[in-house]
Amino acid sequence: MNKSRFTLHILAVAVIMLAAATATQAQATRTWVSGVGDDVNPCSRTAPCKTYAGAISKTAKDGEISTLDPGGFGTITITKSITINGGGAGQGYGSILSALAPQGVLVNITDVNDVRKSVKLNWLDINGASTGTDGVRMIAGNTLHIENTFIDGMAGDGVDVAFSAVNNTAFSMRNVSIRNCVGAGVKMNANTTGTVGFSFNGIQVSKTGTGIDAQNGARGTVTGGTIALNTTGVSVTESGSDAEVNIVDATITGHVTGISVGAGARARIARCLITQNVTSLTPAAQVDTGNNNTIMGNTNNTAPAGNPFPQN
């Protein structure tokens, strides 16, 4: 009898260990997708999945989904820290067609055990086909990085980083092109007393409602790049938390208003070309400068009248 119980106990332990091992194998640090893959596969390099959604369930927190070849890999909801690499370096872009979808990529990380709450998107092509709402939407998380990515054809915003509760988020973009969006190219809004700290380097935003819409709590810097042919180039507004935007070495052209700053908010510009807009800046008193910008060729060449600072 005792021997039978002992045997059953050993079998039970073995089953538990096997289940744990299976679960561990199902959560690989790196997984793979391919245009000819299948989501029933383990998402290994030799047996890749078909979609990012299929791969994410088999990818461990803080892991990475890599793309073997060009293909359409579907929309995705991200609820844990992860990197999605669309596969540059000659392999083409990982395509996300988000036609009729609320967003191409939704970031919603609320797990208290996920310390980083960080997402990196690299080498993606997100196409709303004029019916998808937002390209990338973040409603919860700590950090969002977008690099080497195209976002096109959204009925809403190209990128929407907004929160309904207090949150402090870091948001960066490098070498990102956003175009043909009915809403903003980039919209940031911390909503309450939180902040969205942002850093954009070499971004291109064109043919949207507002190129960069920095609302309540958005504070950061745009370096380099071109903001062109939107209704408004850069808009800075606040209601409960300071909004401040620094713009350095950028071209702002082809708008009704180049830079628009709401009450209490602030914009600072250095070495910018602001041209071929109807109005360059409004109100000029809320734009600070080092007097080292080129503002000409606008219908109304309003010059910065905020606080000047010494040039170095």
Model pLDDT for residues 260-304, shown as the tens digit of each residue: 999 999 999 999 999 999 999 999 999 999 889 999 999 999 989
Model pLDDT for residues 95-126, shown as the tens digit of each residue: 999 999 999 999 999 999 999 999 999 999 99
- Cα–Cα distance for residue pair 44/211, rounded to 1 Å: 40
> Is pLDDT above 80 for 232?
yes
> Which domains are present in the chain?
2-295 (2.160.20.10)
What would the mean pLDDT of 157-182 be, rounded to a whole number? 91
Confirm if 245 and 226 have CB atoms less than 8 A apart.
no
Element (H, E) at 312: none
- Cα–Cα distance for residue pair 68/53, rounded to 1 Å: 16
The more confidently predicted of residues 221 and 7 is 221
Confirm if 99 and 75 have CB atoms less than 8 A apart.
no
pTM comes to: 0.90
- Cα–Cα distance for residue pair 307/281, rounded to 1 Å: 15
What's the full length of the chain, in residues?
Answer: 312
Tokens of 123: 């080498």
Confirm if 237 and 258 have CB atoms less than 8 A apart.
no
The more confidently predicted of residues 307 and 285 is 285
Q: What does the pLDDT read at residue 161?
A: 96
| Least confident window among 126-135, 140-149, 166-175 | 166-175
Confirm if 241 and 192 have CB atoms less than 8 A apart.
yes
Q: What does the pLDDT read at residue 165?
A: 64
Q: What does the pLDDT read at residue 5?
A: 52
Element (H, E) at 193: none
